[in-house]
């Protein structure tokens, strides 16, 4: 799957985001090494700390389906921002060098990086 195709998958689910408090929808598409795609959207909660990010929803969907090997992730968010620290840490558990495509709300690629660039000196399974 091309980068643009993966971004389009993430863009297609953006409208499913539940963001009544921030009005800041985020969507993600996670490509497995076997070619399966898992999507996620942010799910806000009135108790703000219980909000779940799109990236972690996508990871959770993949793991629930028995998939733990990933090839790349696309994120669609206003301005093409990068994953938060918690999402970086969760992604690191499965794919420390995961390529991440960061696209804006129109689906235009703004930046890309590997997870290890976004989370240098990460704490992971090798740290235990």
* 55 catalytically annotated: yes
In this predicted structure, the answer to whether residue 23 has a pLDDT above a threshold of 90 is: yes
In the set 5, 33, 44, 55, the catalytic residue is 55
- CB contact at 8 A, 55 and 10: no
Q: Please report, in angstroms and rounded to a whole number, the separation of the first and last CA atoms in the chain.
A: 34
| Residues 39-64, mean pLDDT to the nearest whole number | 97
Q: Judge whether 70 lies within some domain.
A: yes
pLDDT at residue 126 in the model: 83
- What backbone phi and psi angles, to 5 degrees, belong to 18? -110, 95
What is the distance between the alpha carbons of residues 82 and 67, in angstroms, rounded to a whole number? 23
pLDDT at residue 86 in the model: 96
What is the distance between the alpha carbons of residues 51 and 114, in angstroms, rounded to a whole number? 25
Stated pTM of the model: 0.95
Q: Judge whether 125 lies within some domain.
A: no
CATH number for the domain that contains residue 99: 3.40.140.10
| Residues 69-77, mean pLDDT to the nearest whole number | 98
DSSP 42: -
Q: What proportion of the chain, given as a percentage, has pLDDT over 90? A: 94
In this predicted structure, the answer to whether residue 125 has a pLDDT above a threshold of 90 is: no
Q: Judge whether 71 lies within some domain.
A: yes
């Amino acid at each position: 799957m091309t980068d643009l195709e993966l971004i389009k998958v993430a863009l297609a689910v953006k409208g499913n985001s539940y963001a009544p408090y921030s009005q800041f929808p985020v969507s993600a598409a996670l490509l497995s090494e076997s070619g399966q795609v898992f999507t996620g959207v942010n799910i806000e909660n009135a108790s703000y700390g219980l909000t779940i990010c799109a990236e972690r929803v996508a990871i959770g969907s993949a793991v629930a389906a028995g998939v733990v090997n990933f090839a790349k992730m696309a994120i669609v968010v206003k301005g093409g921002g990068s994953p938060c620290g918690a999402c970086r840490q969760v992604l690191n558990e499965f794919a420390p060098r995961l390529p991440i495509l960061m696209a804006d709300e129109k689906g235009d690629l703004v930046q890309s990086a590997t997870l290890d660039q976004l989370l240098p000196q990460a704490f992971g399974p090798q740290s235990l």
